Amino acid sequence: MLTQFARLSEQTKLSYRKASVSQTTKFIRGGSILAGDIYGEPGGIVTNIDIDSDEPESKVANIVQLASQSCFALQSMVQNTPVTASATLKGVYLPY
């Protein structure tokens, strides 16, 4: 998101002194290895972008919104993203 914020700021001439992002991603694991029903799933994402700028609040908020919308990493977690997984053993397909 920080990369997108920087790129969009440059493209829209938004001036800022500093920007930083912090993110906490929570995961849940449950079930049992022995029972064969172990699972993992997302538990939530908390993202904060902190900006130091004298630009109007509405202009900064707009760029933050656009950065969030165009952040590949964030959107891959937010959107229903198709996933393909496979495995090989010594180069040979391993069904699981």
Tell me the per-residue pLDDT of 72-94, one tens digit each, with 9 for 90 and over.
988 988 888 898 999 999 999 99
- Tokens 């912090």, residue located: 22
What pTM value is reported for the model?
Answer: 0.76
pLDDT tens digit sequence for 3-33: 999 999 999 999 999 999 999 989 999 999 9
Residue 21 falls within a domain, yes or no? yes
Residues of the domain holding 20: 2-81
Give me the number of domains the chain comprises: 1
Mean pLDDT of 58-78: 93
Residue 96 falls within a domain, yes or no? no
- Alpha-carbon 95 to chain mean position: 30
Residues 37, 31 contacting (CB under 8 angstroms): yes
* Token duo for residue 58: 């509405």
Q: Which residues pair with 18 in a beta bridge?
A: 52
Residues 27, 41 contacting (CB under 8 angstroms): yes
Residue 60: the pLDDT is: 98
Q: What is the CATH number of the domain that holds 21?
A: 3.30.300.20
Residues 72, 13 contacting (CB under 8 angstroms): no
Residue 87 falls within a domain, yes or no? no
Give the separation between CA 75 and CA 56, rounded to whole angstroms.
Answer: 26
Residue 12 falls within a domain, yes or no? yes
